[in-house]
A and B are shown apart, each in its own frame.
Chain A
Amino acid sequence: MTSIQQQVHTWLEEGRVDIFLAYRMVEGHPLPHAFTRERIDETDTLVTGPARYSLEKFATHIASRYPDAKIGMVARDCNQRALNVLQVWNQLKPGQVDTVPVNCCPSLLKPHADCSYLEPKPAGHVKLERGQDPNQSLAQADTLPRAERFDRWMYEFSKCIKCYGCRNICPVCFCKDCSLEHPDLIGTGHLPPDIPIFHLVRAVHMAGRCIDCGLCEDACPAEIPLRLLYRKVNAIVKDLFGYETGSGDTLPPFSILGDKPTMSPQPLLAVSQE
């Protein structure tokens, strides 16, 4: 029995958590599994590894039906950030979710990293020629001329098949009524959807929420570099308001008025004639 299996076993036995969300192997696939006290022997099969599902989303589903349930889960850094955001937005009670930290993104502190995003797929030549390379940095994406930037983003967006996968998989998307399904805001019955409105509406809603887990890009059948877009969204939020999404328990800048206005209307952004 590994130490993490032992820990989960103890937590369930002691009643520290009622349900524990982690992974186990099913027919060769690492799949999420809910470990409970009734079936405590199953903890022997708990595994960790590069599998990534939004466990925190399952936690919100449990919490909406059982508000007093004590939930445990294995958490990478992105899971932890998502839990912080869900708590800020009142989807989980403070302290309701107990986490067992597991390996995540590589860093000096964490040499043994487990994440499907460790080695991003290199972009093919068509994407490099016409689209936005998902592996480029924000600074690189900003250096292209405006017209080219626009063309490249529109090329990416025009591939959208409107599967709503980015929204469905997103751990911090929890609204009952989604703007993306409102027929007055997003036209229905044609593909691609209204671009770039569809993607920009979602990008705006990600401001102060997106925790950069990359699940949306992972789930996108059209391989739109959504993570790059939302990274920019949160870089803007950080530059303008100094708010670090997912870091703590403060409300994001778009949901609080503040004591007094701290900004003044911007003049039109200077546009060079390209």
Chain B
Amino acid sequence: MTLKRMTFLQHLLDFMGLAGRLHLEWISSAEAQRFVATVTGFTETIRRLGPSPLRSAALRRYDNISAAPVPCSGPASLQPPAMPDSGIQIANG
């Protein structure tokens, strides 16, 4: 049953664009070597894939709300006044 569900989920996540981040393996408590090999291998795969796009997607969502989709290109009188420099530097990290 687990196998069925996990195989299904691998395909579904691939459709979403999140392939390769789910892995299922049966390892007995006596198979220490296999456990090490599996975890090391999977860690390597994940490292190669890079950080999960879910986190950056969550942040981007809020950026989109404030971003103006079309830059204002009307006459100068309609341009918003330039913001006075507050002197506060916001570190971009």
Contacts and interface: CB of A to CB of B under 8 A. Distances in A.
Direct touching of A and B (C-beta under 8 Å): yes
Contact of A240 (B11, B24, B61): B11
A236 B17 contact: no
B45 interface: yes
Contact of A263 (B4, B14, B26): B4
A253 B4 contact: yes
B16 interface: yes
A211 B42 CA distance: 36
A203 interface: yes
A164 interface: no
B3 A254 contact: no
A153 B16 contact: yes
Q: Is the interface of A mostly helix, strand, loop or mixed?
A: helix
Contact of A146 (B3, B4, B17, B57): B17
A198 to B, nearest CB: 13
A154 B42 CA distance: 25
B57 A236 contact: no
B11 A150 contact: no
A142 interface: yes
Given A204-B12, A232-B12, A266 B7 contact: yes
Interface in A194-229: 195-196, 200, 203-204, 207, 229
Interface string A238-274: 0111000000000001100100010111101111010
A235 to B, nearest CB: 9
A149 B16 contact: yes
Question: Which of A146, A151, A195, A232: most chain B CB closer than 10 A?
Answer: A146
A237 B9 CA distance: 10
A10 interface: no
A200 B21 CA distance: 15
Contacts, number: 86
Interface in B15-69: 15-20, 23-26, 42, 45, 48-49, 53-54, 57-58, 61
A240 B8 contact: yes
B49 A271 contact: yes
Interface string A134-150: 00000001100011111
A154 B3 CA distance: 27
Given A204-B8, A263-B3, A268-B23, A147 B16 contact: no
Given A150-B53, A240-B11, A273 B16 contact: no
Interface string A3-18: 0000000000000000
Nearest to B18: A150
A150 B55 CA distance: 12
Contacts of B23: 268
Question: Which of A241, A270, A271: most chain B CB closer than 10 A?
Answer: A271
A48 interface: no
Contacts of A253: 4
Contacts of B49: 271
B16 A254 contact: no
B70 interface: no
Contacts of B16: 149-150, 153, 196, 200
